[in-house]
């Protein structure tokens, strides 16, 4: 009986894992944003006093009592600035029509209906009475007043004495909306009985004006809390901006060397836009007019959103060419419109159109990332989606501040989203880099194994090829030996064999012609000698071979009382000139000398050999045997001597000519060859 195997369902499917991770991601994002939004100045417990808890602050408008040219530079000495400030503050206090009423702190201007509705610069004086029942003459040590937040600049007086200010009051006013202020109070300024703090606040627009709760505490207690809050509100944005610029520069260089990875370039543009937008968090003295600076900040936030959309498209391998072009064109048009609108329309346009537009873009990026995560779950998308969720919630927080849902003194938090995106994308790059290294290492291992296999196979093939070459060489040698053996047998048959056969025939018949028998024996012996000479090492060296031939014929020529002249030059080697061609050449010369000795009646025989260059590297070796005997004509010639010499010349690929006349006979062999370059 066959047992059926039942496959158990997986306990953790991708859908289940994703369903567990999504709530965790959103919880992490909410926790981060809630922690950032709840970060505020924490006054130390003990002697810290909140000024407005005892007495509400009186509000009075500056209707022109203070000049708009009050500077915060070192050009004006303290006494002059204090006199100037205090004089205009006294004028504000005395003016009958600028009293607004009482308020508790914190106080934001845009939500106070008692303040006039205007979009121009506004200045407000806060006066807080601070009674001290008892204050020893020796004092209680150094105390300080702390203003955690002010929009945008403030000057603080205690009992008519200037404690400090935040910078220039000229337009554009020094922007201290993210920079906490701490002013030490000199001994003797706080007196027993009634004291009054006057805080003069100036802002470029009522939308940006506010004053937080103000604290009075001993300096040694309040300074650590102030420094911690100062770092969070003012120093941390500088660090974030600098880090964003560095990472964006690195991404820009990475894109420069990898142009096909467009997401790197878009991430760099997004980082640059983010850095520009973050300048508003710590630049105190802006280099532009107020309207121009605010316009630049809104455009930079929109560019951040647009580049974020393009980046998420490239990162997720999505192509929306026409949508992206339309988006960039729309951003450019809206930026021009925002620049051209009147100042009175600027803040309403930002609040009710520009801010929702940026929020919609951030929402689109988040939804796109989450949909891709649902489609193809992965650790990279989880990390990126978490970072995008944090940024989206920070955008929501900032939009709530712009819309007035949350107070303006909470400040903007979008700049704190950059580290999360930088860390996420940097982690993704590092992960991909490590994966590339691992893949490269694995590839090297596989390649090494493959190389080892190939080396063994090549070695085996090389051995087989060497064996094949050795076999071919042996077969070639056997073939050469066989060919040479066949040639020798053929030459012996055609040469010595003919002469020996002739001698046998003569011996078989009576009477024996001793002279003819003797000639046949001599001819067989000479042919045997020629064969021996052609088999020696001199067969490839024409000069040496001709020298041996001279040794063979000298005694024969001298025995006939004939003078032998020798005129042989140094001859070059001839390719493929082996024993067979050497034997045929020697037989031609032997036949020519023998004919001259027997038939020419000559007294002088001259053998010459020289090289003649025709053109280029084409040359001839000319070997001739000439006598001064009686010539002959072709019709008078008997025997097969000339035809044999002609046949042998053809076999050695040489030209053969015979010139005979009254002056003697000249037999010439012309051997062509290619002259080798030296």
- Same domain, yes or no: 384 and 299: yes
Say if 494 falls within a structural domain: no
Say if 509 falls within a structural domain: no
The predicted pLDDT at position 4 comes to 44
Phi, psi of 40 (to 5 degrees): -145, 175
Domains contained in the chain, number? 3
Q: Please, what is the average pLDDT of the chain? A: 82
The predicted pLDDT at position 9 comes to 46
> Which strand ranges, in their side-by-side order, compose the sheet holding 99-103?
99-103, 57-61, 122-129, 196-203, 153-158, 161-165
- Same domain, yes or no: 304 and 276: yes
Tell me the CA distances in angstroms from 635 to 87, 306, 511, one per residue in order. 154, 112, 33
Say if 416 falls within a structural domain: yes
> Exposure string (b/e) for 143-159, b if CB count within 10 Å is 16 or more?
bbbbbbbbbbbbbbbbe
Identify the H or E element spanning 153: strand 153-158
The predicted pLDDT at position 210 comes to 92
Share of the chain above pLDDT 70, in %: 84
Q: Do 197 and 128 contact (CB within 8 A), yes or no?
A: yes
- Same domain, yes or no: 90 and 127: yes
Supply the CATH number for residue 101's domain. 2.60.120.260
- Same domain, yes or no: 315 and 345: yes
Say if 453 falls within a structural domain: no
Averaged pLDDT for residues 176-191: 88
Domain boundary among 185, 209, 232: 232
Say if 380 falls within a structural domain: yes
Tell me the CA distances in angstroms from 507 to 102, 225, 496, 499, 502, one per residue in order. 165, 144, 16, 12, 9
- Same domain, yes or no: 173 and 285: no
- Same domain, yes or no: 254 and 227: no
**Ramachandran assignment for 403, one of left (phi > 0), alpha (psi -120 to 50 degrees), beta (any other):** alpha
The predicted pLDDT at position 10 comes to 46
Q: What is the C-alpha to C-alpha distance for residues 547 and 58, in angstroms, rounded to an integer?
A: 138
CA angle 409, 410, 415 (to 5 degrees): 120
Query: pTM of the prediction?
Result: 0.65
Q: What is the C-alpha to C-alpha distance for residues 470 and 473, in angstroms, rounded to an integer?
A: 5
Our CA dihedral for 476, 482, 488, 489, rounded to 10 degrees, sits at -160
The two structure tokens encoding residue 139: 């004092």
Quickly count: other Cβ atoms within 10 Å of residue 328's Cβ. 14
Residues 198-224 have pLDDT tens digits of 999 998 888 888 999 999 888 888 899
Residues 263-320 have pLDDT tens digits of 889 999 999 999 999 999 989 988 888 889 999 999 999 999 999 999 999 888 888 8
Q: Do 104 and 205 contact (CB within 8 A), yes or no?
A: no
- Same domain, yes or no: 611 and 663: yes
Say if 460 falls within a structural domain: no
- Same domain, yes or no: 194 and 265: no
Quickly count: other Cβ atoms within 10 Å of residue 459's Cβ. 10
Domain boundary among 232, 264, 292: 232
Q: Do 54 and 130 contact (CB within 8 A), yes or no?
A: yes
The predicted pLDDT at position 483 comes to 67
Rg from Cα positions in the chain:
58
Tell me the CA distances in angstroms from 265 to 250, 252, 258, 307, 319, one per residue in order. 10, 5, 9, 10, 16
The predicted pLDDT at position 451 comes to 86
- Same domain, yes or no: 226 and 245: no
Answer whether residue 665 shows pLDDT above 50: yes
Q: Look-up: residue for tokens 């209906």?
A: 113
Answer whether residue 567 shows pLDDT above 50: yes
Averaged pLDDT for residues 452-469: 87
Residue 592 DSSP code = H
Say if 521 falls within a structural domain: no
Say if 5 falls within a structural domain: no
Quickly count: other Cβ atoms within 10 Å of residue 28's Cβ. 15
Averaged pLDDT for residues 424-445: 86
- Same domain, yes or no: 281 and 307: yes
Cis peptide before 412, with omega less than 30 degrees from 0?
no
Domain boundary among 187, 203, 232: 232
Supply the CATH number for residue 583's domain. 3.30.565.10
Residues 397-417 have pLDDT tens digits of 989 988 888 898 888 888 888
- In terms of pLDDT, which residue wins out, 72 or 500? 500
- Same domain, yes or no: 379 and 277: yes
Domain ranges, residue 587: 539-674
- Same domain, yes or no: 270 and 144: no
Q: Do 146 and 41 contact (CB within 8 A), yes or no?
A: yes
């Amino acid at each position: 009986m066959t047992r059926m195997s039942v496959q158990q369902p997986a306990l953790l499917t991708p859908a289940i894992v994703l369903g567990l991770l999504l709530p965790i991601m959103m919880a992490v994002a909410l926790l981060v944003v809630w922690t950032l939004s709840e970060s505020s100045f924490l006054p130390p417990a003990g002697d810290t006093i909140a000024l407005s808890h005892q007495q509400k602050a009186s509000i009075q408008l500056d209707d022109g009592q203070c000049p708009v040219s009050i500077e915060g530079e070192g050009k004006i000495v303290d006494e002059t600035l204090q006199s100037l400030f205090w004089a205009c503050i006294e004028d504000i206090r005395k003016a009958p029509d600028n009293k607004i009423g009482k308020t508790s702190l914190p106080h934001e201007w845009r939500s106070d209906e008692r303040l006039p509705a205007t979009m121009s610069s506004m200045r407000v004086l806060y006066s807080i009475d601070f009674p001290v029942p008892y204050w020893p003459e020796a004092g209680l040590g150094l105390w300080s007043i702390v203003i955690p937040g002010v929009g945008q600049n403030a000057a603080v007086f205690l009992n008519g004495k200037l404690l400090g200010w935040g910078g220039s009051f000229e337009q554009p006013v020094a922007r201290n909306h993210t920079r906490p202020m701490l002013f030490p109070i000199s001994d003797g300024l706080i007196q027993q009985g009634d004291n009054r703090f006057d805080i003069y606040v100036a802002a470029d627009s009522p939308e940006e004006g506010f004053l937080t709760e103000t604290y009075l505490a001993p300096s040694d207690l309040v300074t650590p809390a102030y420094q911690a809050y100062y770092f969070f509100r003012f120093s941390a944005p500088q660090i974030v901006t600098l880090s964003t610029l560095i990472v964006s520069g690195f991404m820009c260089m990475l894109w420069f060397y990898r142009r096909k990875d467009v997401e790197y370039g878009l991430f760099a543009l997004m980082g640059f836009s983010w850095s520009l937008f973050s300048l508003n968090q710590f630049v105190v003295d802006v280099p532009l007019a107020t309207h121009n600076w605010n316009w630049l900040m809104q455009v930079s936030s929109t560019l951040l959103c647009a580049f974020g959309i393009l980046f998420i498209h490239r990162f997720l391998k999505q192509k929306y060419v026409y949508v992206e072009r339309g988006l960039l064109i729309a951003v450019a048009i809206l930026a021009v419109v925002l620049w051209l609108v009147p100042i009175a329309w600027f803040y309403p346009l930002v609040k009710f159109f520009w801010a929702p537009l940026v929020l919609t873009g951030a929402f689109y990026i988040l939804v796109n990332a989450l949909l891709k995560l649902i489609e193809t779950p992965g650790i990279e998308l989880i990390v990126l989606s978490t970072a995008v969720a944090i940024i989206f919630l920070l955008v929501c927080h900032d939009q709530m501040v712009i819309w007035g849902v949350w107070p303006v003194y909470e400040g903007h938090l979008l700049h704190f989203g950059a580290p999360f995106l930088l860390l996420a994308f940097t982690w993704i790059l590092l992960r991909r880099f490590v994966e590339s290294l691992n893949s490269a290492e694995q590839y090297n291992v596989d390649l090494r194994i493959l190389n080892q296999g190939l080396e063994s196979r090549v070695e085996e093939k090389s051995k087989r090829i060497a064996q094949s070459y050795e076999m071919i060489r042996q077969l070639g040698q056997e073939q050469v030996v066989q060919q040479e053996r066949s040639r020798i047998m053929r030459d012996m048959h055609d040469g010595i064999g003919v002469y020996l056969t002739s001698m046998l025939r003569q011996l078989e018949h009576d009477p024996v012609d001793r002279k003819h028998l003797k000639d046949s024996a001599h001819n067989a012996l000479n042919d045997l000698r020629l064969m021996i000479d052609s088999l020696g090492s001199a067969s490839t060296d024409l000069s040496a071979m001709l020298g041996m031939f001279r040794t063979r014929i000298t005694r024969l020529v001298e025995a006939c009382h004939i003078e032998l002249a020798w005129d042989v030059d140094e001859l070059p080697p001839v390719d493929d000139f082996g024993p067979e061609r050497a034997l045929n050449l020697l037989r031609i010369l032997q036949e020519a000398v023998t004919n001259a000795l027997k038939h020419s009646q000559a007294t002088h025989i001259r053998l010459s050999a020289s090289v003649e260059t025709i053109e280029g590297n084409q040359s001839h070796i000319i070997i001739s045997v000439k006598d001064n005997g009686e010539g002959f004509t072709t019709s008078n010639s008997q025997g097969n001597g000339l035809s044999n010499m002609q046949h042998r010349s053809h076999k050695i690929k040489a030209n053969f000519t015979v010139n005979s006349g009254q002056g003697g006979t000249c037999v010439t062999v012309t051997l062509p060859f290619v002259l080798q370059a030296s």
